[in-house]
Amino acid sequence: MEFTEVVRSRRMVRRYDPDRPVARDVVQRCLANAVRSPSAGFSQGWDFLVLTTPEEREAFWAATTEPGAASDAWLDGIRAAPVLVVCLSHKDAYLDRYAAPDKGWTDRDEARWPVPYWDVDTGMASLLILLTATDEGLGSLFFGVPPERHDAVRAAFDVPASRTIVGVVSLGYAVPGPRSPSLRRHRRTGDEVAHWGRFGVAGEKA
């Protein structure tokens, strides 16, 4: 698939065929592309917890939902995904890297960072998983974990406290479902979001 077609075809998929597993080598290709993402100082402060068995996935859902809480169509659709990839950032990898002699921030002061690049870079790596999934003919979704459930996920899967859960990518074969009402919103065009030379200055018309 041509790159532009991959980008235009990518959708957030919330309904999956539970009877179509995703081959391990496809998941591995998604991860192999994820690590091609840029990272500040080549810190590569990301890890990916891959959950593929029914037991692993059920443990994830048990850790992230209220016991006994009623399900809904949104959750039921995502729970059918045969693969979950929990995307983790590692702040210390960045602080350590920039305290190295060639960088020199030996105080490891987080205030030097304009934004948390460990989370930004992990998000960019997650996008490469989403794009690779589209190229492989899969549906995918990036979704968050409620902050109050992060410790439960760490405990369920032995995730070190030094890792932050940035989000989760679900992977699987999409099944038809209702379109998200959010899609009724206007998609901003490149011309609408671009400011040339100064904020508020639109590009010249062709």
What pLDDT, on the 0 to 100 scale, is given for residue 22? 98
Q: What is the pLDDT of residue 166?
A: 98
Go through 111-123 and write b for each residue having 16 or more CB atoms within 10 A of its CB, e for each that does not.
eebeeebbbbbbb
CB 176 within 8 A of CB 136: no
List per-block mean pLDDT (blocks of 10 residues) for the chain, which spans 206 residues: 91 94 98 97 97 97 87 87 98 96 91 96 98 97 97 98 98 86 82 92 73
Q: How many whole angstroms separate alpha carbon 60 and alpha carbon 78?
A: 12
User: Residue 74 has which token pair?
Assistant: 């949104």
Tell me the two tokens of residue 43: 């810190």
List of domains in the chain: 3-178 (3.40.109.10)
**Residue 177 has what pLDDT?**
75
pLDDT of residue 205: 57
Residues paired with 47 in a beta bridge: 88
What does the pLDDT read at residue 168?
98
In this prediction, residue 104 carries a pLDDT of 87
User: What is the pLDDT, as a whole number, of residue 183?
Assistant: 73
